[in-house]
């Protein structure tokens, strides 16, 4: 299992240097405080009190919320999911809260304009998709953690939906149970509110009230699920402190409060592009965790393309490799940076964490196919499985449309070329390939032996435009 998971996949298709390979086979991980661990990994931006370090010496519950504004989570969400996973593998109860209610409002944090409201049907579809995704992430993450020496018993995460407690709440109940404990001057002081008030568009009462809903979420989970910690991106600091303030006000806080009863907040740095923009759908650069939206190959390649300046940071944030292992990898990488050892290990580790060993194998197979590797080393079934969710590259054609038909017509049906004449021009110019072999005859007809295991063929235009045809 490890030999496949840690296989390198550059054009050389080699193996890890022995020193790095040995470093990755460590046994049990020394038990550490989760806050210390996250700090060392660059996963901690702020905490509401240094006492959180003492509080997390014993088991507690922590939650992180996500609004279902799309049917999939993305790489920006992965940073906070890693925070929840770290708490989980250190013996704490992780709670993932899907905002079936708050998602219909929209968080104004970090936004210059109001979100377009989603219909209830779309919200429900998004909620269902994200709930499945969170469960899968923790299943893969727990297995991945065990392979990396984390031996603590990981509790299954609780995946909740705040529509459960908001759907039956009347306006009068909201004003009495929530609004009574909020202070407008404090709400106006939040950066997400101040920036919008000062803009030409302003802020609606709906979005202004968002922080009250999130604050009540923390209170509800505090009361009903013994949740003592809220985790979020650094742009959520205001919403998190609003929740702690509501808990304190509703409980009538006394000075001699026990450590076990206190509420805490922790924020994780936002994942930013090199230009300083957030990763996410709003920024137009989302890398989705759903393989039907970002293929295994494209997910893998995102990390393969990490810059040398970012790769060490990403290895700390998105993997469970220990710091000495990361240092060893970076040492090997710096000796021969052109081999991109660090990026390859980052892509391996993160793809396995998110998509499991099977997803990693599919990403490696796709990489081999799309980077001109030896197609004889993979089976037709492996290729089909690697690309079955990648509709931009794989098309299905009836066998009668393929066998005995001209490659020019097949290339057009596969959308590899604009037309038959375009395909013929490319063939004459030496720029059209079938299964990585250059085709010289514009009238070339595909035969049965051109199909890999009788299932699929690979058409390439130029150096990097690949299209696959599955024969059904």
Q: Are residues 202 and 349 in the same domain?
A: no
Q: Are residues 149 and 216 in the same domain?
A: yes
280 located within any domain:
no
Note the pLDDT of residue 108: 67
Q: pLDDT band at residue 23, thresholds of 50, 70 and 90?
A: very low
Q: pLDDT band at residue 1, thresholds of 50, 70 and 90?
A: very low
Q: pLDDT band at residue 65, thresholds of 50, 70 and 90?
A: very high
Q: pLDDT band at residue 32, thresholds of 50, 70 and 90?
A: confident
Note the pLDDT of residue 203: 81
Q: Are residues 324 and 410 in the same domain?
A: no
Secondary element (H or E) of residue 93? strand 93-98
Q: pLDDT band at residue 270, thresholds of 50, 70 and 90?
A: confident
**Positive or negative torsion for Cα 98, 104, 109, 115:** positive
Residue finishing a domain among 248, 268, 288? 268
Q: Are residues 353 and 306 in the same domain?
A: yes
Q: Are residues 100 and 205 in the same domain?
A: yes
377 located within any domain:
no
What is the rounded average pLDDT for all residues in the chain? 87
Q: Is pLDDT larger for residue 373 or for residue 47?
A: 47
Mean pLDDT, residues 268-292 taken together: 74
- How many domains does one find in the chain? 3
pLDDT at 339 over 80: yes
279 located within any domain:
no
Q: Comparing 31-40, 106-115, 323-332, 427-436, which segment has the lowest mean pLDDT?
A: 106-115
Q: What is the pTM of this model?
A: 0.84
* Helix, strand, coil percentages, rounded to 5, for the chain: 50, 10, 40
Mean pLDDT, residues 131-158 taken together: 91
Q: Are residues 183 and 321 in the same domain?
A: no
Q: Are residues 86 and 229 in the same domain?
A: yes
pLDDT at 160 over 60: yes
Range of the domain at 424: 394-471
Note the pLDDT of residue 377: 86
Contact, 219 vs 212, CB < 8 A?
no
The CA distance from 267 to 282, in Å, is: 21
Q: Are residues 350 and 400 in the same domain?
A: no
Note the pLDDT of residue 120: 87
Residue finishing a domain among 321, 336, 371? 371
Instruction: Give one DSSP letter per residue of 271-311, joined into a string.
Output: PB-TTSPBPSTTTT---BSSTTTS-HHHHHHHHHT--HHHH
Note the pLDDT of residue 2: 34
Q: What is the CATH number of the domain that holds 447?
A: 3.10.290.10
Q: Are residues 73 and 200 in the same domain?
A: yes
Most confident among 7-16, 254-263, 344-353 (mean pLDDT): 344-353
129 located within any domain:
yes
Mean pLDDT, residues 260-281 taken together: 80
Mean pLDDT, residues 448-456 taken together: 94
Note the pLDDT of residue 8: 37
Note the pLDDT of residue 279: 63
231 located within any domain:
yes
Note the pLDDT of residue 191: 74
Note the pLDDT of residue 7: 38
pLDDT at 133 over 50: yes
Q: Are residues 138 and 106 in the same domain?
A: yes
Question: Could you report the per-residue pLDDT of 197-209, keeping only the tens digit for each?
Answer: 877 778 888 888 8
The CA distance from 447 to 211, in Å, is: 63
pLDDT at 434 over 90: yes
Note the pLDDT of residue 22: 44
Residue finishing a domain among 356, 371, 386? 371
386 located within any domain:
no
Note the pLDDT of residue 253: 67
Note the pLDDT of residue 28: 57
Residue 470: closest CA among 426, 454, 250, 276: 454
Mean pLDDT, residues 229-248 taken together: 93
10 Å CB burial of residue 413 (0-12, 13-18, 19+) is middle
273 located within any domain:
no
Q: Which tokens go with 146?
A: 């065990």
Contacts of 183 (CB under 8 A, 6+ apart): none
Q: What is the CATH number of the domain that holds 327?
A: 1.10.240.10
Q: What is the CATH number of the domain that holds 149?
A: 3.40.50.620
Q: Are residues 350 and 419 in the same domain?
A: no
320 located within any domain:
yes
Q: Are residues 257 and 342 in the same domain?
A: no
Mean pLDDT, residues 87-107 taken together: 91
Residue 169: closest CA among 159, 179, 160: 179
């Amino acid at each position: 299992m490890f030999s496949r998971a840690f296989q390198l996949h550059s054009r050389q298709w080699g193996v890890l240097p022995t020193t790095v390979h040995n470093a990755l086979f460590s046994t049990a991980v020394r038990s550490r405080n989760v806050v210390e661990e996250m700090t060392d990994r660059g996963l901690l931006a702020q905490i509401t009190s240094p006492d959180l370090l003492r509080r997390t010496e014993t088991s507690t519950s922590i939650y992180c919320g996500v609004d279902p504004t799309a049917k999939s989570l993305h790489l920006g969400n992965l940073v906070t999911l890693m925070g929840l996973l770290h708490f989980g593998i250190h013996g704490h109860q992780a709670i993932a809260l899907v905002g079936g209610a708050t998602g219909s409002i929209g968080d104004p944090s970090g936004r210059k304009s109001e979100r377009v409201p989603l219909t209830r049907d779309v919200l429900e579809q998004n909620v269902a998709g994200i709930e499945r995704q969170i469960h899968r992430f923790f299943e893969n993450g727990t297995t991945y953690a065990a392979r990396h020496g984390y031996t603590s018993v990981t509790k299954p995460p609780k995946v909740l939906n705040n529509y459960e407690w908001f759907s039956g709440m009347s306006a009068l109940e909201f004003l009495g149970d929530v609004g009574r404990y909020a202070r407008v001057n404090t709400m106006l002081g939040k950066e997400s509110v101040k920036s919008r008030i000062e803009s030409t568009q302003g802020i609606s009462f709906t979005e202004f009230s968002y922080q009250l809903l999130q604050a009540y979420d923390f209170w509800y989970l505090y009361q009903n699920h013994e949740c003592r910690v809220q985790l979020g991106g650094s742009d959520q600091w205001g919403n998190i402190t609003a929740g702690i303030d509501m808990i304190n006000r509703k409980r009538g806080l006394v000075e001699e409060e026990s450590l076990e009863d206190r509420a805490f907040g922790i924020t994780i740095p936002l994942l930013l592009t090199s230009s300083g923009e957030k990763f996410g759908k709003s920024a137009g650069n989302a890398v989705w965790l759903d393989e039907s939206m970002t293929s295994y190959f494209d997910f893998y390649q995102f990390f393969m393309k990490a810059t040398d300046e970012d790769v060490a940071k990403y290895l700390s944030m998105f993997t469970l490799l220990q710091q000495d292992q990361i240092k060893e990898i970076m040492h090997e990488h710096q000796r021969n940076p052109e081999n991109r050892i660090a990026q390859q290990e980052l892509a391996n580790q993160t793809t396995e964490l998110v998509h499991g060993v099977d997803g990693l194998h599919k990403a490696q197979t796709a990489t081999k196919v799309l980077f001109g590797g030896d197609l004889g080393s993979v089976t037709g079934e492996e290729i089909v499985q690697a690309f079955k969710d990648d509709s931009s590259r794989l098309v299905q054609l009836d066998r009668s449309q393929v066998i005995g038909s001209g490659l020019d017509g097949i290339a057009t049906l596969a959308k590899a070329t604009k037309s038959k004449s375009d395909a013929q021009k490319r063939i004459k110019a030496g720029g059209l390939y079938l299964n990585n072999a250059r085709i010289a005859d514009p009238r070339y007809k595909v035969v049965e032996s051109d199909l890999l295991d009788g299932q699929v063929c690979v058409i390439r235009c130029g150096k990097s435009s690949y299209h696959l045809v599955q024969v059904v």
